[in-house]
Chain A
């Protein structure tokens, strides 16, 4: 569609130019141009003869010069040469002695010489003028084409803009739909779940004396499953909220964040022997609460997967890249098979059995989502039973603002 529009505007532009040229330069066809030459010399001859008839002397040369000038001006170089030849012949035949013959007496030769020189000068002036005019015309055509192109580009920009506005509206609509979807999930999915849990509890309470051990296990399983589903829903909602939430970007000290998170985790891991190796970390540009969630998820993962170690070692540090910093969290825990590394950051993807390590499989998906929103990347290295290292990169402070602006 755009191609066709382009072609038609191109043709239109050329047509307008052609029309313009014809109007300003009058005569384009060769017959007309040479015709003009003959006619103007004939008129000059008529005028000269008339003037001579009324006893005016020696006016024929300026009159012929005028004819030549006129021809040169309007018809170009070729007709002007014809006009010079014709004028010379007429002058020779009608005005130079002997009259009515093409013979030339030697005393008249200077006349001819002056006349022809004069005519050539006039013709060359006219030719120069035509050349300049030609250049000007080319420049104007060029400008005109440029104007046309600019107009076309403006049209394109306008069309694109319109499309963009439409796309933005669509996005907004789908975002609103998503939001109301998440909203009804949070409302309507929780209620039946609460009832499952509530009535199972009531059943347990009312009938526990009547139930045998097997039935009691069944009700327990119902309860646990329903609670697990509750956790899944909560996590999923939190995950979707991260995608929708607006980020408030500031300078964030990762050192400070790690310190806070570690202090929080220590409260829950009182009985365990955990060695924290914390190297200096940089200041980043991003949303503090989201980055805190990243650090929190990575560190609590490290704590979780080192549970079976007598002495857990967790190391946090960073490597300075060219335009980004890469932070790593290394542990000596369960690790995982690198074959499945692609699944690690997926939603609800788990690489361990629920009875080994609890969890919903949303933590690292959240980490990845947040880091992507900050313009960074995540990756992991591990081996089974050899511990794991999780990396995330963030743009350096100087170009962070620019890159997050592009990704958000």
Chain B
């Protein structure tokens, strides 16, 4: 895994992973991404346990989180992060297919930083991902303790 990873992508669908990475690749952000395929792995990454026990302690600059995930779902991951003193500073962007008000309300109540519905249209999808990546990984100043931008 890249030591420099500033974007943590939590997504179970391999095709969505590929499309997201393609979109981020257009801004040369693809190699800044760590992908975990379920909520359990994502928490492992954040807590540096299991297969991630060797990584540096820095938090990612942003986390792109799908809601429908195997084992531990997105909302549970979000709840865990926002209730942990060390992790609650990480900006979390929910990136989901669900336009259900229930999901949005719940996410915002848990303290999500942004909620993005994956557009069906590919252009819109690519644009949304690019803008997200650029904003959170480049424009936004991440909280202290995050992975630094490559000089």
Instruction: Give the B-binding residues of A (Cβ under 8 A).
Output: 183, 186-188, 190-191, 193-195, 197-202, 226-227, 230, 234, 237
- The answer to whether B120 and A201 have CB atoms under 8 Å apart is no
**Residue of B with least CB distance to A233:** B120
For A183, the closest partner residue in chain B by CB is B100
The residue from A183, A188, A190, A199 contacting B118, defined by CB atoms under 8 A apart? A190
Query: Which listed residue (A183, A191, A198, A237) contacts B122, Cβ 8 A?
Result: A198
Also in contact, A198 and B99, with CB within 8 A (given A190-B118, A227-B121, A230-B121)? no
Please tell me if the beta carbons of B16 and A191 are within 8 angstroms of each other in the complex.
Answer: yes
Binding site for A on B (CB under 8 A): 13, 15-16, 19, 22, 68, 96-100, 102, 118-123, 125
B99→A197 contact, CB < 8 A: no
Report chain A residues within 8 Å CB of B102: 183
User: Which of chain B's residues has its CB closest to A193's CB?
Assistant: B120
Contact check, B19 vs A195: say whether CB atoms are below 8 A apart: yes
Using A194-B16, A200-B122 as known contacts, list a sample of 17 further A-B pairs with CB atoms less than 8 Å apart, ordered by residue number in A. A183-B98, A183-B100, A187-B68, A188-B97, A190-B118, A190-B120, A191-B16, A191-B97, A193-B120, A194-B118, A194-B125, A195-B16, A197-B122, A197-B125, A198-B122, A201-B122, A237-B99
CA distance A197 to B16 in the complex (A): 12
CB distance from B101 to the nearest CB of A (A): 9
What are 7 of the A-B contact pairs (CB < 8 Å)? A187-B98, A190-B97, A190-B120, A194-B16, A199-B15, A227-B120, A230-B121
Alpha-carbon distance between A165 and B14 when the two chains are bound, in angstroms: 46
> Which of chain A's residues have a CB closer than 8 A to the CB of B119?
194
Q: Are B97 and A194 in contact (CB under 8 A)?
A: yes
Q: Smallest CB–CB gap between A337 and chain B, Å? A: 34
The distance in angstroms between the C-alpha atoms of A188 and B67, with both chains bound, is: 12
A187–B125 Cα distance when bound, in Å, is 16
User: Which residues on B sit within 8 Å (CB–CB) of A197?
Assistant: 120-122, 125
Nearest residue in A to B119 (C-beta to C-beta)? A194
Query: How far, in Å, is B20 (CB) from chain A's closest CB?
Result: 10
B96: nearest chain-A partner, CB-CB: A187
Contacts of B99 in A (CB 8 A): 186, 234, 237
Which B residues lie within 8 Å of A201 (CB)? 122-123
Q: Counting chain B CB atoms within 10 Å of each CB, which of A187, A202, A227, A234 scores highest?
A: A187
A188 CA to B125 CA, complexed, in Å: 17
Can you list the 7 inter-chain pairs with the closest CB atoms, starting with the nearest?
A: A230-B120, A201-B122, A190-B97, A198-B122, A195-B15, A198-B19, A197-B122
Chain B residues whose CB sits within 8 angstroms of the CB of A237 once the complex forms: 99
Assembled-state Cα–Cα distance A193/B97 (Å): 11
Which one of B97, B98, B118 has the greatest number of beta carbons of chain A within 10 Å? B97
Determine how close the nearest CB of chain A comes to the CB of B65; give it in whole angstroms: 14
